[in-house]
Amino acid sequence: MVQSQAEDVDGYLAEVSEERRAALARLRELCRAELPGFAEVMAYGMPVYERDGVGEIAFASQKQYISFYLLRSDVREAFAERLTGHDMGKGCLRFRKPEQIDFVLLRDLLRATATGSGRIC
C-alpha cells in the first residue's frame, strides 16, 4: 500500500487488501485492549498509538509485508531473546504473510510498552 491518506484507522483498514484486513483489524483490537490511555491516531500514513503525544507503537500494510513498529528500545532489549529469528529492523517487526503474525508475542510487547515509559528510537 502506498502511504495512506486515510483520516482515521477505520478508513485505513478499508483501504487494506482483503487478505490482510482481518489480521490488521485483530492487531488494532489488540492495541486498543493492551494500551489503555494511549491515543489511536493516523501519522505517517499508518495507525499509531501515542502516549502523551509520543508514538510508541504503529502498524502498517506494506507492499511485501505487514509491519509492527515497536518504537521503545527498552522493550526491544527486554524481548531480545524472543525476537531472535524474526524479521526485524531497528524498530520494525515484519511479517510476510498475515498467518505468520505472532499475536502472543505482540500482545506481550504491547503489555510491556503499556507498563512503563522508556526511550523512543
pLDDT band, very low/low/confident/very high, at 5 (cuts 50, 70, 90): confident
Overall CATH class of domain 9-113: alpha beta
Residue-averaged pLDDT of the chain: 93
Domain ranges of the chain: 9-113
Residues 6+ apart with CB under 8 A from 68: 27, 57, 58, 59, 92, 93, 94, 95, 101, 106, 109
Q: Above 90 in pLDDT, residue 67?
A: yes
Name the pTM for this structure: 0.92
Residues 6+ apart with CB under 8 A from 115: none
Output the pLDDT for position 6.
84
Chain centroid, CA 61 distance in Å:
10
Alpha carbon of 6 to those of 1, 29, 51, 63, 102: distances in Å?
12, 18, 21, 17, 26
pLDDT of residue 40: 98
